[in-house]
Structure 1
Amino acid sequence: MRTILLVSCFLGLLLALPTESEQKLDAQMTDALFGLSLTALKESNGPVVVSPFSVAMALATVNEGAKEKTSQEITDVAFHGISKEKVASWFKSKLEYLKTDYSPLSVASAIYIQKTLNVLEGYITDVKENFLSSVDKVDFAGEPQIQRQKINSFVNETTQGHIPELLGAEHVSSDTRMIAVNALYMKSSFKDKFPKGSTAKKPFHNEDKSSKELDTMSGTHSGRFFENDDFAYGDMPFTDYGYNFFIVFHA
C-alpha cells in the first residue's frame, strides 16, 4: 500500500492579524493535529482518510469533562501538553470563523451520552460554548442500533451524503455509554483548475510493485513544492482565500 497524506488545511482563519501568542498556539496546535494524523496512518493496514481537526475536536470535548490522570493523559498524548483551556480557546476561535459566510467549510459536532448517566450542567455549557456541540441523552442500553442510525443520519446530513454510515453495527452496543462525533464538509475549487482535456489513464504504482491504470489529472501549476530522497510535498490553493490543499507522499 502506498501511503499518501492529504490535508485540507486552512490558514489564517481569523480576519484580524493574530497576536504573537496566538501565532504560537496556532503552531503548537498544528503540530499536535499533524501528529494525530500520522498516528492514524501508522495504525492502519489499508487506505485511510482522516481529519485531524475532527479527531482532535472530539478528544477535546471529551477532555473538557475529564479530570486528573485521564485529563492529563489526553492533554499529553493528543495535544502535546497544551492545556485544555488553551485547546478549548483555540477551537472556539476557529469555529466562530467557520460559522461565517466567508468559510466554505461547515462543521457539526454532537455528543451522545447514555441517558441514565448524570452529566454536570457545567460540562454541557462548556462544550456548547467552546465547541458549538450539542449534547444528546440517548438509550444506548436499550436501543443501541436505533441510536447508531441516529448518529449516522446526523453525519450523513452534515457531509451532504458523503459519509452515509460512519458507525457499523459492531461499533455500538448496549455497553456503549458515550460517543463524541465531529463531521466536516467542504466544497471548493482549485484556484488553478486542471484542464479536463489533460485527464488520461496512467499507471498508479503500488508498494508491492503492482500497478493499475487510473484516470489521472495533469497540469502545470505554480505553488510550493519540495522533494528529497524520502518524500515529495506540494500544495495548491483553493479559490477560497486562506485554504490550501497539501499532499505528502513517499518518493
Structure 2
Amino acid sequence: MKAWVFSRIGLVLMVVLLAGCAPDEDDVDMHEPVNGDEAVEAIEDATDAPEPQLDDGVLAGLTADQREFAFSLLKQLGIEHDNVFVSPYSIAAALAMVYAGADGDTREQMAGTLHFPLEDGDLHAAFHRLDRELAARAEVELEEEGDSFRLDVVNQTWGHETFEFRQDYLDLLARYYGAGMRQVDFQTAFEAVREEINDWVADQTEQRIEDLLPPQSLNADTRFVLVNAIYFLGSWKHAFDKEGTQDRSFTRLDGSEVDVPMMRQTARFGHHADEHTLAVSLPYVGDEVELVAMMPADASADFNSWAGGLDGERFDQVLEAMERQEVALYFPRFESESAFELADFLGEMGMVDAFDECAADFRGITGVEPCIPDRSIYIDEIFHKSFVGIDEAGTEAAAATAVAMVRVTAMPPEPVEVRFDRPFYYFIHDLPTGAILFAGRMLDPAG
C-alpha cells in the first residue's frame, strides 16, 4: 500500500470599517483612491505587467526570516493550546498583502512581528517568487502508479462595492500575489458573502476546510476580506506498510500513556541526533518537499524547555547535520485540526496598532489618514483553520522485483531505531527554498 500525507489549510484576514472619532478632514490625503469598476480594471492591468525579477539571495533571506516567524508563532500558540497545526507561510502571505498598505507605527509593528525586514519592493517580489517556486512543485514526475503530489496556493479578496481603494495598492496585490477582488455588498448581504467566502475556501481545499468564517464574523461594517488558502497532498517516497501498523503506547507530557496506531518501517531517512535533539526527515515523491520531525534526544528532558530553544537558526543547524541512513522508524498515525482567531496572539507578539480603531494606519489601502469614519479601516480579526492527516492509506500497486547479487564487503550496520512515541514538533518543509509550509506540535495523537 502507498502511504500518503495530506494537509489542507485556509486563512482569512478581515479588515473592518472604522466607525469612530475623526481628525480634521483637511488632513486627509486621498492619493487617488479607486472603487467599483476601476478596481477591477486596475487588477486586469496589473496582471499584464512584466514579471518582477529577484536575486536568489533575497528569496533566501525571506524564507530564513519566515522560519523565525514560524517558531515565534508556534511558541505563542503553545501557551494556550496543546496540539497545534498552522501554516506560517499562509499567515505571512495573507498579512504581507495587508502590510503593503500599512504605514507609520502600524507598519513597524507588523514588520517586527512578522519578520519582514526587506524593503517593500523586495518583500513582495520575494513572496511572488516563492509562490512561483511552490507552484512548480506540482510538476513533479510521479515515480509509481498510485503516487500523488499536489501543492496549491491561491489568494483572493472581497471588497465592498462602494468602498474606495487605492489603485496602486490593487495593482500590487494583482502583480505580486495574483489576488483579484470580488465586489460584494457587505452592508446589506454580509451573511451571504460569508457563505460565499466559506464555499470558496472549501472548494480550494478539497472540502477539508469548511465553515472557516463562523456566524457573525462579518457584519455591515466589513469592507475588505483577504484570503490565502494552501492545499497539500503528497505520497511518501518510502511507503509505510499498513500491515506493520500496531497500537503502541504514546507518553503524554504529564507522564500518562495512551495507545495510538503506530506506523513502522525501515528505510533510508535523514537522521540527526545530538545531546539535545533527535530528528528525522521523511521525503515525499519528487524529493523537494519533506516532513521533518523533532523531539528531545533524552526522553526524560523537559519538553517545554527544549522547545523554548527551538528557533529558525536551530532548525537550520539540525537540517544541515542530517545524514541519510537506515532508520527503523516508528511514527504515529493521526489526524489533527486547529482553528484559531489570531488577533490576540499577534497582539502579544507586538502587532498592536493594526487591531485598534484609531491607531491602525492603512492609508496605503484607503488613501486616507487613520480614524476617519466610513473611510479608514482596521483589522477586526484573523481566522486560521487547518487540517492535517498522516497515515499509510493510498492505493495498491503492482510491482516488479529484481534481485541483484553483489560480493560481500562488510556486514551492513544495524538501523538506528527512532520512536516518536512522545511529544514532538513536525514541519512540512520545502527543500529548494527552505520555506516552512506547515508547522505543528503534537502532544497527544489521540486528542
- Asked if these proteins are the same fold (TM beyond 0.5), I'd say yes
User: Would the aligned equivalents of 2:58 and 2:122 in 1 still touch at CA under 8 Å?
Assistant: no
Are residues 1:204 and 2:240 paired? no
Partner of 1:244: 290
Are residues 1:75 and 2:136 paired? no
Distance 1:141 1:44 in 2: 35
User: Would the aligned equivalents of 2:158 and 2:181 in 1 still touch at CA under 8 Å?
Assistant: yes
Partner of 1:3: none
Structure showing the higher helix proportion among its residues: 1
Partner of 1:102: 139
Unaligned runs of 5+ in 2: 1-6, 9-53, 141-149, 300-447
User: Would the aligned equivalents of 2:235 and 2:285 in 1 still touch at CA under 8 Å?
Assistant: yes
Distance 1:141 1:55 in 2: 27
Task: Say which SS state the counterpart of residue 84 (structure 2) adopts.
Answer: coil
Shift of 1:218: 1.2
Greater RCO (CA < 8 Å, at least 6 residues apart)? 2
2:178 aligns with one of 132, 139, 144: 132
Letter in 2 for 1:81: P
Task: Say which SS state the counterpart of residue 188 (structure 1) adopts.
Answer: strand
Task: Say which SS state the counterpart of residue 169 (structure 1) adopts.
Answer: coil
Q: 1:90 to 1:45 in 2, by over 3 A?
A: same
Distance 2:162 2:80 in 1: 35
Q: 1:88 to 1:80 in 2, by over 3 A?
A: closer
Q: 1:115 to 1:48 in 2, by over 3 A?
A: farther
Are residues 1:25 and 2:87 paired? no
Shift of 1:217: 0.9
Count of residues in Structure 1 that have an aligned counterpart in Structure 2: 236
- 1:109-148 aligned within 5 A: 109-148=155-194
User: Would the aligned equivalents of 1:95 and 1:132 in 2 still touch at CA under 8 Å?
Assistant: no
Q: 1:26 to 1:109 in 2, by over 3 A?
A: same
Shift of 1:123: 1.2
User: Would the aligned equivalents of 2:74 and 2:84 in 1 still touch at CA under 8 Å?
Assistant: no
Q: 1:240 to 1:127 in 2, by over 3 A?
A: same
Letter in 2 for 1:102: E
Distance 1:206 1:172 in 2: 39
Task: Say which SS state the counterpart of residue 49 (structure 1) adopts.
Answer: strand
Partner of 1:217: 263
Are residues 1:56 and 2:102 paired? no
Q: 1:200 to 1:112 in 2, by over 3 A?
A: same
Structure showing the higher strand proportion among its residues: 2
User: Would the aligned equivalents of 2:156 and 2:227 in 1 still touch at CA under 8 Å?
Assistant: yes
**Greater shift in the superposed pair: 53-62 or 20-29:** 20-29
Residue by residue over 1:99-129, the C-alpha shift from the partner in whole angstroms, topping out at 9 and shown as x without a partner, is 3452631111112233332111211111111
Letter in 1 for 2:65: M
Unaligned runs of 5+ in 1: 1-6, 9-17
Distance 1:233 1:187 in 2: 23
Are residues 1:166 and 2:203 paired? no
Task: Say which SS state the counterpart of residue 162 (structure 2) adopts.
Answer: coil
TM-score (ref. length: structure 1):
0.81
Are residues 1:176 and 2:206 paired? no
Q: 1:146 to 1:36 in 2, by over 3 A?
A: farther
Distance 1:30 1:65 in 2: 20
Task: Say which SS state the counterpart of residue 196 (structure 2) adopts.
Answer: helix
**Greater shift in the superposed pair: 143-152 or 39-48:** 39-48
Distance 2:75 2:183 in 1: 31
1:90 aligns with one of 123, 126, 131: 126
Letter in 2 for 1:168: P
User: Would the aligned equivalents of 2:90 and 2:228 in 1 still touch at CA under 8 Å?
Assistant: yes
Task: Say which SS state the counterpart of residue 225 (structure 2) adopts.
Answer: strand
Identity level (%):
22
Distance 1:83 1:19 in 2: 13
Shift of 1:228: 5.4
**Greater shift in the superposed pair: 168-177 or 232-241:** 168-177
Distance 1:232 1:41 in 2: 23
User: Would the aligned equivalents of 1:76 and 1:82 in 2 still touch at CA under 8 Å?
Assistant: no
User: Would the aligned equivalents of 1:226 and 1:234 in 2 still touch at CA under 8 Å?
Assistant: yes
Task: Say which SS state the counterpart of residue 226 (structure 2) adopts.
Answer: strand
Distance 2:158 2:99 in 1: 15
User: Would the aligned equivalents of 1:63 and 1:71 in 2 still touch at CA under 8 Å?
Assistant: yes
Shift of 1:19: 5.9
User: Would the aligned equivalents of 2:157 and 2:181 in 1 still touch at CA under 8 Å?
Assistant: yes
Distance 2:134 2:289 in 1: 12
Distance 1:173 1:40 in 2: 29
